[in-house]
Every structure is written in structure tokens, then in C-alpha cells.
Structure 1
Amino acid sequence: MAAEHGSDLSSVVTVLAAGVVAVPLFRWLGLGSVLGYLAAGLVIGPFGLAVFSDPQAVLHVAELGVVMFLFIIGLEMQPSRLWGMRGDIFGSGLTQVAVCGGLLTLLCWAVGLSWPVAFVASMGFVLSSTAIVMQILEERGETNGLAGQRIVSILLLEDLAIVPLLAVVALLAPVSVGEGRTSQWVTVGIAVAAIVGLVTISRWLLTPVFSLLAKAHAREVMTAAALLVVLGAAVAMQAAGLSMAMGAFAAGVMLSESTFRRQLEADIEPFRGILLGLFFISVGMSLDIALVGRDWPLILAGVIAMMAVKSLGIFLVARFTCSGTRGALHRAALMGQGGEFAFVLYAAAAATGLFEARLNAVLTAIIVLSMALTPLAVLALRFLPAGKSDQDMTGVEGADQIGTVSGHVLMIGFGRFGQVASQSLLARGIDITIIESDTEMIQAAAGFGFKVYYGDGRRLDVLHASGAEHARAILVCVDDRESATEIVELVKGEFPLTPVLARAYDRPHALRLIRAGVDYQMRETFESAIVFGNAALRQLGFEEDEVAELEADIRRRDRARLELEGIGDRQASIALMHGNQMTPTPLVRPKQEGQGLSEETIAVIQEAARREALHADGRPI
């Protein structure tokens, strides 16, 4: 018994070690964590080092990662938000599933499969991998963008499609007519009852239950309850013949407006991350190298043909639904693979006799390889040149359509920083002309009533079209350091009398802006961090005078750092006066006489500045 437990523990250690080694390595190579997990699974699987002999056993446990992943996605999707996304879900999503399914069915039929088998094989490949796509979107920070939200909408429709597809498999199964009709109607009835029951329990019962548990003040009980909700919903849907993941997603949506939503998300997140990584590892394990070696021409041709046809369908649908060329290519590369629900669909088809064992194995290998190739396909897009024509220009007006303006403020860049900065000006009735080079941001801003024009602030003709020469001030709010510096240099060279205020990323960037002649620079986190630290001191009981004194000391040391990095007395004064909102008094000995600071205090401040000029890892603050 002890030996068996030791063996189980060794397997767990092996899986963790494989992930810990592979994922950082692949991310360092720029290939992403998903490909690292898949490679790790291939190495330790039955067709690699053979640490595991049954990848399906690991896959069944690892599927809980996908289940929890969809539960967390559901928590972020309030019913009102889902209703707002209905156009993308049932428009773009349904169109993409129909177009790609039709094209792939024709392809499979053309290679000799019967129509029912071709349809099921194709629809399994149509269902993209929610786990892989969402992981890549999350790593690239695109989940909450307009394009990311559209992709999430399509993934939701594809995940919902597994329900009718499983019913279609039952209808197409080679069974007797009478038996088939009876079992199919019973299955549909059970599925509907399960969905209604899950919605009812999630909507009206779970919140009171969590309220009672919260009063017990037992954190571990809340965590156990969160796991119970996710796994209970998954098991209920599986018992009804539906998808475990969709059960968890439905439960998440029903709880998305609960006051316990953030608590549930925090409790589930650690389990989700570990199990999702385990899922990718198990997928890598399931790649049958012997089968690939034996049937490699067929499998390789299948992967290339099915990914190419599906990507073509996705590209056409994306262009038809007003995405730009680059956006359509990005969606095609991201969603061109088969997904984890294909394993469920193919297993059901094999169990009912619709698929032969060899066909099921070949199709499964094609799915796994397509999943492994997806990070590489997305990576390849980086080498494509970007351009204005690559963006979706629907409803977007260029800077040349602004017309004659004067006495206004020109804002370049309208991301999070620019949106907040504009509020004070708009509140005082100041006219603002806004240009932005991200068309998705422009379209999103239009939904909130902002008129934003398309334009690249690094181009002189765009600045003239935007009325830069007549502007009272120019605000550079772009989040790219090089672009911000380039814009400031261009503006100060062409319009030297116009005040220029710029957003700085960090101290080195602030120094470059100061040297470029900027009239005001603000590090994007400096002031907010000072205010945050002051609030923490007040919360801890410090007096207001002491807080103010500490703040002044921090600002003095920050000024000293600017001098230490060689911007000169005058520029340090500008940086201090504008960037840090203090009297222009650089920390050099002659300037400090009469300030009430002793020579010893000055030495302490300067030494502290030298020590703290860098982060612990050596990067400038």
C-alpha cells in the first residue's frame, strides 16, 4: 500500500516538474504556455518517457480545469452583458459555425466519408478550443478588447453547440427506429429538465445558501461550497447527457450578479489554473506517436487541410462581419484548431457505432496536432506587416475630416489614461479634439458618446489636419513610450510655442521627454502611487502633518534621482515643477541653503536617492 501511494506521489511530482520546466522555457522562447504544457505532456506520456500509461485517465480529471475555466467565464458574463453580446453570439458565432461546418463537411465527404460521418467529424473540428484560445487571449491581454469580446462570443456559441450536436449524434446512430425515437425523446426531455433545474437552483437558491455560509465565518467552507457548485453543476449536466463545461458555465452566469461573485472567483481560480495546465498536459499525452508514425501522411494532410479550410471560413466570416484584414487573420489563426469538445463528440460517435475505432484515433490525433500548432500560427502573425488597411474602419472618420478648429485642446491617444484625463477638461466645457490610431478603441468610445478621429500623431500631416498649430495645448496620452517621445519631439519642433503635456511610462521615459522639451510630464503610476501610500498611512493612524512631511521627502528624493541621472539643473527644475508639482529647487548644495535643511539631512536624502534609484531587480523606477 505504501509503495502504491509512493508511486502516485511520484506521478504527481513528475507532472508538476514537467510543467514547471516546460512552461517558463516556452514562454521565454516566445511560444506561449499552452505549447509548453502540450510538449511536457508529450515527453512524459506513454509515447515519450512512458511515466503515464493511460492518458485518458489523466484527461478525465484534467477536464475539470476546462469546467472551472468556463465557470469563471460565466461569472464575468452577467445576463445583461450576454444579452448585449447577442448579435456577436448568434450572428457572427452562428454564421461561423454554419460556414465552417459546411466547408469541412464537403471536404470530409470529398475524401470518401459518408454524409453522417463527414458531418460529425467536421462539426467536432468546428468547435474551437476554448481553453487554448482564452489562454492565449489572456496572455496577450486581449480578453477585454473589442476583438477579444467578439472571439469570446463566438466561443460561447460553439460551446453551446455541443448540446444539439450530441443530440444529432444520437439521431444519426445506427440503432433501430423504435428504440432510437424513444431514447432520443427521453434524452431531450432529461436535458431540458436538467437545464431548467440548474437555472432555477443557481438563480434563486444559491445566493441565500452562500449568505448563510458567510455568517459562519469559515473560509474553508466557502471554498468547499464554491467547488460543490461547480462540480455539482458539471455532474448534473453530464448525467443528463450534456456537457459538463456548459453546466458550469450556466451556473457561473446565474451567479454573476450575486454579491459573492468575486469571492467565488477567488476560491476557484487556484484550482482552475492548476487543472487547466493539467488538461493541456493530458492532451499532449494523448497524442499517439505510433499512430502518427504509421498514418502520418493521412494525419498530416488532415491537419493541413482541415485547419486551412476552417481558417478560410473564419476569415471570410470575419471580413463579412466588418473586421479588418489583420483582425480577420488574427481570428482565423487563433480559432483554426479543433477543440476539447471534439473529444466528447467523437467519443459519443464511437460509443454509438457511428465512428470506427481507427477513424476516431485519426481524428483525435488531428485535433491534438491542430491544438499544438495554434500557438505557432498566432506567433507567425507577428511577422506580418501592420498597416492602416488592416484595421476595421467601419464608422471611423479620419483626421482629415475634422475641419477647421481653433482654441481647442488636442489629445493624442484615448486609452484608459486619456479617458480619465479628458474628464476635467470636458467638465469645464473645453473643446477637445481627440485622435487615436486604434480603430477598436475609437468604435468602443463612440458607444459612450465620444467623437474620436483616426490618426497617427507621429505624422505631421495628421497634426496639421487635427489643428495642432491652433491648439491651446497638446496632450500626448499614448501608452507606447517610443511613440510618445517621437510625438513630443515632432510637436516641439514644429509648434514650439504650444504647451505639450505628455504621459510618461517610467523615469527613463520621463527623462527622454524632458530632454525633448516637454512642458509637463507625468509618470502614469507616480502620483497615484503617492496618493495610495498616503491613504495607507492615514488608515494606519498617522497624522496628516506627518503624512505630508513623508510625501514631501519622497518627492525630494525623486527629484534627487532625476539629478543623479544627469538631466541638469534647469531640466531638473522643470521636472520638479511640472512632473512632481513642487517648487523648482534642485537638490544641489547652493540651491538648498535657506530651505531649512541641514547638510546632514541633504546627505541622507542624496544617499537614499542613490540607493533607491533602481528597483530590486535593477530596473529604473
Structure 2
Amino acid sequence: MAVEASSSDLVQVVALLAAGVVAVPIFKRIGLGSILGYLAAGLVIGPFGLRIFSDPEAILHVAELGVVMFLFIIGLEMQPSRLWGLRREIFGLGTLQVAICALLLTGAGFAGGFPVAQAFVAGAGFVLTSTAIVMQLLEERGEIAVPKGQKIVSILLFEDLMIVPLLALVAFLAPGGGETMLAERLQEVGIGIAAIVGLVFAGRYLLNPLFRVLADSQAREVMTAAALLVVLGSALAMQLSGLSMAMGAFLAGVLLSESTFRHQLEADIEPFRGILLGLFFLAVGMSLDLSIVAANWRLIAVYVVAYMVAKAVGIYAVARFLKAQHREALERAVYMAQGGEFAFVLYSSAMAVGLIDGAANAQLTAIVIISMVLTPLAIVGLRWFAPRDQLSLEGVDVADGLTGSVLIIGFGRFGQIASQPLILRGVDVSIIDNDVEMIQAAANFGFKVYYGDGTRLDILHAAGAGGTRAVLICVDKAETAVRIAELVKSEFPLATVLARAFDRGTALQLVHAGVDYQLRETFESALVFGGSTLEALGVDPDEIVDVIEDVRRRDAARFEVQLAGDIRDGRNFLKGNIATPVPAPVTTPRQPGRALNEETAGVLGRQQTEPGT
């Protein structure tokens, strides 16, 4: 019997892994994203598909730890000062959005014939956006750290805080609720506040000394266990006090964000976070009760559309009222138009106190899950059908008829520094960039930068590339730099082209594109840094010069070998990212046969960066 039970458990584990491994790459390949892949896979292996699992709620409870760990990692990236700087967004924007959306959703339920109390419960549950889905979408698109992403994160944090007052309201609205149950809920609010204060105190005064002691033990597995203990312990503390587990983990991450152990903690938690977050989405997919949907499909379809549209309208209106651009407001509305996992908690509580019955709870849960499923599809639709906002070029001059002797394409941190010797020498420089905000900022410091996309031939003509003595490609994206280099060398073969390379692979591509000079962006600064380290260690300055020059020659030799290999066998240039090891310590006598001649090393060697980058 034990063997059979063990075999059954193993089948379920294998099914979970196989479902994710098969579905996610397929859905990402067709442009629907990993979240929808997990949800679909969960539906297939769940009680209403292949029936490999019969109790998705048990998996959902475990998988919620993925959301907890995700919020912990987000907290590690957000220092207390940064969180304090978002206080207006959290409590201002968050309050306004929750209030407006709750009013609209309650109105939608009331218009459908529900009593006010039930309409409020249904709407309030739908107000609570899915933290897991939205944060995953923001991470996949690299938008968590940008301003529009930070506003969404702020709203999600406020919604997490709202679960306790909403549960108190549910208790008050319950038949026979009144003062006794309200008093109990207010007591729970007090406990929650005390738990937050206790967690802040522990994070400020206890966690760093703890990790310092554990680090001295030199036991890696203990550090990993301690990281899990902090995440799960803080989540448990918040759950026992009536708050969300995710909020506890987030606060723990914020409190450790300035710790010297931050990167170690992130590395320890990351593998668990990814697996459990995928498991969470699988469990949500399993939880969709298709029998309830089939029996009430008209009602569910109407309310899914009504609730998502009403919430999206409320979010868009609040965003525009607070001066957000149309595109940003539209994206926020689509990202956050679904219900979330906290709705399940609220609906269960409402059912327990008699506000709604079991059938209503099942229907509302299905509505929320379907809205979660539809969100990735809605984002795909937004990308296909909604045009992006046109850039406002107010106060910005477009490149046209420029006649400088040097054309600089890209005016970020690299281009700004590269331009200064030319400007000080009196060289006539023309500068173009396609970042309007940067152009406006540069104007405040006296730089005249024109708007223009260096990957377009007509812009290059307008910027005077045909009459320049040199074109400097200073953009920060590797593929863009290569594309510009190929275009310039093809259309303006007499121009001298000098390019910034992101890494060794990009440098190889730029050489093949025909540039006259390329510099991998961190090479010289890294050599100066290494030389300064030797100086701090007491090495003789003349010896430091010799050592640094030896590094240049060896790096140039490796580069030439890789370049020759690319030409000979046609391999992908990016494979040159991995450099061969240095053949001998730099203190050994130089071997002319292993390095380029002095003239070549002087020209090419100074163009390279550290091995393998």
C-alpha cells in the first residue's frame, strides 16, 4: 500500500513538471506568454481535464509560497528610502483606484439584481488584483523598476493592505454581525499593526546580526535554510495576524534590501521562487470548475465582461485624472482588470458568515479565475490593436541638414563622455538620439542634440553622414550598433566609423561590419581599475604599466584568433563571447609568437575589453 501511494504521488509530481515543461515553451513561442501556458496546463491535468489531481486547493495553498518568495525578491530591490518615496502612490493612487473601482463594481452587481451587501462583497473581491499575474507580467517585460511599473507595484501593495479592512466590513455586513463581530475585526486590525511593527523591529535589529553569525559558520546550506526561514517566517507572522503572507515577505525583503547579504539571499531564494510561482499558476488553472461554468455560462460570461470592463474603466479614469499618458493609463487598465487570489479568501469569509451561499461562492470564484486567464490574452490584444502614443517632439529639433565634421549617434553616458574631448578641441560635432527625455535633459546642460533614429538611412542622410569625416556609434544596444555600422559602411564607405561594443561578441560583429575602430565599453576602465588595485598593493608603477600592456597584447591575440576562426568556419559571431584562458601568468617573459606585433597590439589591443565579455 505504501508503495502504491508513493507511486501515485510520484505520478502527480511528474505530471506537474511535464505540464509546465510542455505548455510554457509552446505558449511563449506563439506569443501568449508563460502565465497562460501554466493556466492551460493546470486545466488539462486538473479535476476537469485528465483528472490527475482531484484537490487543487491543497496544491494552491503550497503554491502560494511562490507568490510569497516573488514579493520577497521584489522587496530586496526596493530600499526603505525608495519605498518611502512611493508613499503618495501607495496611499494616494492606491486609495483612489480601490475606491473608484469598488464603487463601479458594486454598481455593476447591484444593476444585475443583487442586494447591496452581496454586490459589494462580489465587487470588493474583484477589486483585489492578482499580485502574482501582474508582477510576473511586469518582470517578463522588464517594467518593475520603471516609473509606470512602480505605480502598479504601489497599487498592488495597497490592495494587499486592504484585505484586513475588507474582511472587517464583511463581518459587519453579515446577518447578525453588528458590534461584536466588528469589535473582533478591529482587534484583528490592531494585531496586524502590531505584527508589522514587530517585523520592522526584527528586520532592523536582528536579521543582519543573525546572517553575520551564519556567514561566519561557512555553511552554505545553513545560509539557504536561513533565507527560507526569514521569508516563510515573516509570511507566517503576517498570516497569523490576519494580513497577507505576501505583504510579510515583501516587508522582510525591504528590511534586508540594504544588507550586505542581499545578493546571497536573492540567489538562495530564486530557484524556489520560480518553481513555486509556476506551481501557483498551475493550481489556479486546476481550480476552474468547468461544471459550474457550464451550468451558469451566461451569468458568468456577462459578469466576467462587466467586471473587467468596469474595473478597467475605473483604473483608466483614475490614471488620466492623475495626469498619466493615454498609453500608460490603457496599459495599467489592461494589466489590472482581473480579479486576484485574495478574492478567494474574501468570498470564503463571506460564505462562512452567511453573506453569500456556496453556489454564489463557486460562481464568483469562476469569474475571478476566468478574468485571470483572459488577462494575458488582453495584453496580447492591446499590443496588436492599440497604437502606441506618438512621441511629443515639443522643444526638440529633428535632424535635418546637419553639416558637422563628426556625427555622434547616441548620447547616453558613453556618448556624453566621448563627445567632450572633441568639443573642447573645437571639432564641429553633430549629435542625434531617439530618446526625447534625454535630449531635453541634455539641453539643460548646454548640449544641442537632435532627434533621429540612426538605424534609418533617411535620418543618416539628414544628419549629414555623407559629408562627415567620422561617424561615432555610441548606442547602448548591441544589435542596434551592429545594424547602424552595417548601414553606414554600406551607404557611406568613405566615412571613418568608430563604434562602442557591448561585449566581445558584438565587437566581432562590428569588425565584420567593417568599422575602423571598436571599443568594448568596459575594457579601458577595467584596466585602470586593475592597475589601481596593483598600485594599492604596492606594485612598482613601471611594472604596472608593463603588466597592463601585456594584458592588452594577450587580449588582442585572443581576439584575433577568434576573429580568424569566425571567418574560417562561419560560426556565429556571438560564440566568441567565451575567450580562451590566458596561456601563462603575465609575469613570465613575453613570447612574440603568442602575441601580435607591437603595432597591431597598439591599435587593436586597446579596443578590447576583459576576456569573455
| Superposed pair shares fold, TM > 0.5 | yes
Q: Does residue 556 of the first structure (1) align with residue 553 of the second (2)? A: no
Q: CA deviation at 1:221?
A: 1.6
**Given the alignment of the two structures, is residue 88 of structure 1 paired with residue 89 of structure 2, yes or no?**
yes
**Mean CA deviation greater in 463-472 or 209-218:** 463-472
**Which residue pairs with 1:423 in the alignment?**
417
- Structure 1 unaligned runs (5+)? 567-594, 603-620
Per the TM alignment, residue 160 of structure 1 is displaced from its structure 2 partner at its CA by 2.6
Aligned mates of 1:226, 1:262 — CA distance in 2: 11
- State, as a whole percentage, how many aligned pairs show the same letter: 59
Q: Trace 1:59-458 onto structure 2 (pairs within 5 A).
A: 59-384=60-385, 386=387, 389-391=389-391, 393=392, 397-400=394-397, 411-414=408-411, 418-426=412-420, 430=424, 435-438=432-435, 454-457=451-454
| Structure 2 residue aligned with 1:578 | none
Within 2, Cα distance between the matches of 1:450 and 1:120? 57
In the alignment, the residues of structure 2 paired with residue 306 and residue 453 of structure 1 have an alpha-carbon distance, to the nearest angstrom, of 46
Task: Determine the C-alpha separation between the residues in 1 that align with 2:41 and 2:194.
Answer: 41
Compared CA separation, residues 159 and 409, structure 1 to 2 (3 A): farther
Query: For 2:314 and 2:252, how far apart are their aligned partners in 1?
Result: 32
- Evaluate the alpha carbon distance shift between residue 312 and residue 520 of structure 1 in structure 2; reply closer, same or farther with a 3 A threshold: farther
**Corresponding letter in the other structure for 1:556:** E
2:55 equivalent in structure 1:
54
Deviation at 1:6, TM superposition (A): 2.7
User: What is the CA distance between 1:142 and its match in structure 2?
Assistant: 2.6
CA shift, 1:149, in A, is 2.7
- The 1:385/1:126 distance shift into structure 2, 3 A limit, reads closer
With normalisation by structure 2, the TM-score equals 0.78
SS in 2 for 1:113: coil
Q: Is the counterpart of residue 476 in structure 1 residue 469 in structure 2?
A: no
State how far apart, in whole Å, the 1-side matches of 2:82 and 2:220 are: 30
Counterparts of 1:450 and 1:307, CA distance in 2? 47
Whether the 8 Å contact between 1:147 and 1:440 is mirrored in structure 2 is no
Tell me if structure 1 keeps the 8 A contact 2:455–2:480.
yes
Q: What's the CA shift string for 1:471-491, capped at 9, x where partnerless?
A: 886533345677657756887
* TM-superposed deviation, 1:198: 1.5
TM-score normalized by the length of structure 1: 0.77
List runs of 5+ in structure 2 lacking aligned partners. Answer: 535-545, 571-590, 598-612
Q: Structure 2 CA distance, aligned partners of 1:556 and 1:486?
A: 22
Deviation at 1:515, TM superposition (A): 8.7
Q: What SS class does the counterpart of residue 113 from structure 2 fall into?
A: coil
**Superposition deviation, residue 510 in structure 1:** 7.2
| Mapped partners of 2:466, 2:434: distance in 1 | 20
Comparing 281-290 and 60-69, the one that deviates more: 60-69
What CA deviation, in whole Å up to 9, does each residue of 1:337-377 have, x standing for no partner?
A: 11222222222222222222222111111111111111112
The whole-number CA distance in structure 2 between the counterparts of 1:314 and 1:503 is 42
**Count of residue pairs brought into register by the alignment:** 560
For residues 519-561 of structure 1, what are the alpha-carbon distances to aligned partners after superposition, in whole Å with 9 as ceiling and x for unaligned? 5445679x599979x99xx9xxx97786455323223224435
The answer (yes or no) to whether the contact 1:226–1:267 under 8 Å persists in 2 is: yes
Q: What whole-Å deviation, never above 9, does each CA across 1:156-209 have from its counterpart, x for those lacking one?
A: 232233233233323323334242243123222222221211111122111112
Range moving further from structure 2, 41-50 or 350-359: 350-359
Bigger drift between 243-252 and 339-348 goes to 339-348
Aligned residue identity for 1:400:
D
In the alignment, the residues of structure 1 paired with residue 461 and residue 157 of structure 2 have an alpha-carbon distance, to the nearest angstrom, of 45
* C-alpha displacement of 1:293: 0.9
AA paired with 2:396?
A: A
Could you tell me which amino acid in structure 2 is paired with residue 413 of structure 1? G
1:146–1:444 CA contact under 8 A, matched in 2: no
CA RMSD after TM alignment: 4.2
Distance 1:545 1:438, change over 3 A: closer
